[in-house]
Amino acid sequence: MRLKNPRLPVQRRAAVLAFTLVAGAVLATAGGQAQPATGSPASKDVAIAAGLSGPDATALAGRLGRSRTGGVYLDPTSGRMVVTVTDAEAAKVVTDAGAAAKLVTYSTTQLDAIAGGLDDVTPIPNTAYGVDVVNNEVLVQVGGTVGEAELANLRAVTEPHGRAARVERVGGTMELGMSGGETIRSRTGRRCTAGFNVRSKTNPNSLFLVTAGHCTQGTGDWLDHGSTYFGYKVGARYPTYDYGLIRHYSASVPKPGNVWVPGGLQDITHSRDSHAQERVCVNGSTSGYTCGPVQVKHWTVVYSNGDKVKDLDFVSVCRDHGDSGGPMFHGNAALGLMSGFNTSNCQAYYQPINPALAWYGVEVY
């Protein structure tokens, strides 16, 4: 279903269409004003300049092997996919195939082994780590509550690897984006943000809403921002991953396949993985709409409550409580759902959408 009149004033749309705007519509209601955009919404999916597409560049890196490549990212200046390589022969293979090559010191095998060593350390709340493909290193971030003894444990793992790993203290706390939002609310009072409307791959008439797993965990019925019942929780996967599913169960609540952006609506037609350094846009019931770059993929976060979630996208955008489950997208492509944030550093952590869709057997529309 698509909205007939997206040009209505935002307050009017929220009042008349109830839950129709789905992801972030309530941002324009009282107490949830949308924030000024830091980037214009894209009308089309990410445009890759002449050369390999993102999936093709990733496939090429896979053929070269983990010991000869250090990862793939999108150069935001040229718009070309960059394949990092560890030898000149691999660089020639990449350039001959139409992508940009960048010689680096450490391979994916080496960097993943370092990150794996961090996985073996007893989880330390308020820490995060992952492979920074652009800087060819394992980046470890430490929040303000981490003590010196815990910091020493992390450095004992990273320092033997020299410049292949770096620990930085970023301050603040890495929190789950729970409570304080006004977009969707469980009957128990839990508040989050709607992600994307989806449908069953085997039965297109069976409709659901996908959001964060820590939102749906332990809940039952869910209400829209107007306190109208719209469905019930049927799935929650958290921690380790962070996605949940709510079954639409109200014929009176519209279920469009779009998200709200300043000045109108963005149709969502498909899903895909994001690229490192790609500029993406996000929406949340507390913090509104904004855009920013994906800094690191496959990011692992140990939240301040001790819960550990892996394979997240680390995005440079400011988020807060109540934004959980909110959508990350580029043009008409669904990319992810918000898991958590560090307000002190304008960092947010997003669950990639495709694993969630595959787990539940659903698709965007």
Number of domains in the chain: 3
Query: Is residue 144 in some structural domain?
Result: yes
Please check whether residue 6 lies inside any domain of the structure.
no
- The CA distances from residue 314 to 38, 55, 178, 340, in Å, are 18, 20, 18, 10
* 129 located within any domain: yes
Tell whether 302 is covered by a domain: yes
d(CA 83, CA 108) in angstroms, rounded, equals 12
Task: Flag whether 305 is in a domain.
Answer: yes
- 23 and 67 fall within a common domain: no
> pLDDT 10s per residue in the chain (365 long)?
333 333 333 333 333 333 444 444 333 333 333 333 333 344 344 444 457 898 899 999 999 999 999 999 999 999 999 999 999 999 999 999 989 999 999 999 999 999 999 999 889 999 999 999 999 999 999 999 999 999 998 999 999 999 999 999 998 999 986 433 358 999 988 999 999 999 999 999 999 999 999 999 999 999 998 889 999 999 999 999 999 999 999 998 889 999 989 888 899 999 999 999 999 999 999 999 999 999 999 999 999 999 999 999 999 999 999 999 999 999 999 999 999 999 989 999 999 999 999 999 999 99
Task: Supply the range of the domain harboring residue 83.
Answer: 54-103
Domain of 313: which CATH number?
2.40.10.10
Are residue 99 and residue 112 in the same domain, yes or no? Answer: no
- Answer yes or no: do 80 and 117 share one domain: no
Single residue among 128, 154, 169 that ends a domain in this structure: 169
Residues 340 and 216 in one domain: yes
